[in-house]
């Protein structure tokens, strides 16, 4: 086996330093997982289609200015990554890819079942050149299962609908079900993609044996349904949408004040603290039923009292009073509220970085979470399509300028 090539990163940092990831997915679910790893020090090489690139680059609502325009999502999510292009469907593209994964620790991708196998890049072929490689396939419906589903397209709202969260989100009928934004299914899948991949990587470090992870978007969504399915299988309950009410206890939802919306959440004995704020006497137990039985007469009466109390005050007044009483309460924050909030500022949540595509600095969400000993960092922002072709293919595969130009002319990179 050839010696492993040195890292292209300008410096080593973070808890994932030394980890090399090849990422070939598109849009959000898989590429964001790779980008999270890149912010924690992994060396990530993202491969896109030549001349086409990821559709997310050019979605509407982009950052305008002199020169190139890029989508806000792309600018935020696609940092710290080396960007290359490659046509997997060609024999030369297949060979180049196999040479790349031979020196990687992880390969993550997103496509319909069988896509890479059709290009001669099935898991067995990949593992033949790198037995320790962790392979993670992200798809809408999985790599195996009922044949009617495997080739179906899936985007974020499809994952929410089929996974089950959309069916219980939103106001009661006849109002329509609601999708959780932004892109809750995709980002949930990203988190599950990364943690499962790193779990398999730890196993590979211990044993030298790689493995294949099959992650379906709808399953990532379904996994976070809490006790919904246990309740259905045990009692046949098919829950109805209840808007922002929990359906199990109160207060636990959104309330409108004089100047905006806020959320109050109180479980268990915290209910008594809310009653104290409202001036309600709990010593005789008359409000006990209101806490857990929202549709009872006491439950309806309590809700009306609380909403009336909130409506007479500003958001800031309610938030301050409730938090002094140790009741969970927050304003429903807008981006403007967040940008001006002292706690966000104190924790340095937002930061600036240099975006190569735009050729200037932009500001957005920084590194989350914070590590005490091996903090992540942003060493560069997004890049134009194929920006690192020469660097990556020259460094890892030894291709010279003439070879790279020929590959470009033939549309392979």
In a 13 Å sphere around the CA of 267, the CA atoms on its Cβ side amount to: 4
Q: Is the dihedral of CA 26, 30, 36, 42 positive or negative?
A: negative
Cα–Cα distance between 7 and 318 in angstroms, integer?
53
What is the C-alpha to C-alpha distance for residues 321 and 235, in angstroms, rounded to an integer? Answer: 40
In whole angstroms, give the CA distance from residue 210 to residue 126. Answer: 11
Helix (H) or strand (E) holding 85, with range, is strand 81-85
Distance, CA of 140 to CA of 156 (rounded, Å): 9
Is the Cβ–Cβ distance between 101 and 132 less than 8 Å?
A: no
- Which residue intervals of 262-400 are DSSP H helices? 270-278, 288-292, 297-311, 315-324, 335-340, 342-346, 389-397
Four-CA torsion 404, 405, 410, 413, nearest 10 degrees = 40
Q: Are strands 43-48 and 81-85 parallel, antiparallel or unpaired?
A: parallel
Partnered with residue 331 across adjacent β-strands are 262
The set of residues, in sequence order, having a beta carbon less than 8 Å from that of 97 and lying 6+ positions away, is 22, 47, 86, 88, 121
Distance CA 39, CA 21 (A): 12
Annotated catalytic residue within 105, 156, 186, 355: 186
Question: How buried is residue 340: exposed, middle or buried, by Cβ count under 10 Å (0-12/13-18/19+)?
Answer: exposed
Catalytic annotation present for 54: no
Quick one: which of 146, 176, 198, 182 has its CA closest to 72?
182
Contact 375, 13 (CB under 8 A): yes
3-state helix, strand, coil in the chain (%, to 5): 40, 15, 45
Termini Cα distance of the chain: 26
Query: Which residues are tagged catalytic?
Result: 186
């Amino acid at each position: 086996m050839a010696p492993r090539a040195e890292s292209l990163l300008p410096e080593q940092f973070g808890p994932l330093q030394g980890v090399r990831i090849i990422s070939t997915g598109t849009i959000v679910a898989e590429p964001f997982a790779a980008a999270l790893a890149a912010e924690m020090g992994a060396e990530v090489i993202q491969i896109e289609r030549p001349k086409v690139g990821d559709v997310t680059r050019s979605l509407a609502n982009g950052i305008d200015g002199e020169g190139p325009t890029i989508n806000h999502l792309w600018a935020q999510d696609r940092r710290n990554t080396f960007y290359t292009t490659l046509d997997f469907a060609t024999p030369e593209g297949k060979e180049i890819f196999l040479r790349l994964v031979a020196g990687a620790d992880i390969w993550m991708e997103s496509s319909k079942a069988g896509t890479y196998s059709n290009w001669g890049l099935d898991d067995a072929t990949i593992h033949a050149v790198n037995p320790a490689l962790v392979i993670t396939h992200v798809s809408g419906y999985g790599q195996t299962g009922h044949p009617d589903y495997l080739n179906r397209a899936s985007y974020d709202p499809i994952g929410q609908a089929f996974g089950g969260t959309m069916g219980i989100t939103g106001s009661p009928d006849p109002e329509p079900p609601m999708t959780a934004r932004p892109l809750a299914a995709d980002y949930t899948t990203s988190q599950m993609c990364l943690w499962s991949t790193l779990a398999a990587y730890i196993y590979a470090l211990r044993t030298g044996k790689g493995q294949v992870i099959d992650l379906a978007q709808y399953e990532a969504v379904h996994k976070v349904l809490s006790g919904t399915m246990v309740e259905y299988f045990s009692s046949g309950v098919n829950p109805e949408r209840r808007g922002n009410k929990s359906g199990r206890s109160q207060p636990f939802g959104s309330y409108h004040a004089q100047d905006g919306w806020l959320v109050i959440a109180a479980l268990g004995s915290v209910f008594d603290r809310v009653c104290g704020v409202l001036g309600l006497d709990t010593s005789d137990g008359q409000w006990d039923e209101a806490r857990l039985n929202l549709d009872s007469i006491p439950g309806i009466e309590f809700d009306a009292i609380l909403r009336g109390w909130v409506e007479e005050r500003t958001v800031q007044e309610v938030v301050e009073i409730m938090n002094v009483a140790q009741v969970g309460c927050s304003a429903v924050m807008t981006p403007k509220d967040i940008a001006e909030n002292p706690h966000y500022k104190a924790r340095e949540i937002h930061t600036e970085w240099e975006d190569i595509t735009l050729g200037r600095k932009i500001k957005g969400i920084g590194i989350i979470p914070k590590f005490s000993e091996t903090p992540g960092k942003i060493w560069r922002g997004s890049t134009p399509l194929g920006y690192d072709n020469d660097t990556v293919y020259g460094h890892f595969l030894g291709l010279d300028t003439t070879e790279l130009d020929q590959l470009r002319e033939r549309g392979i990179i």
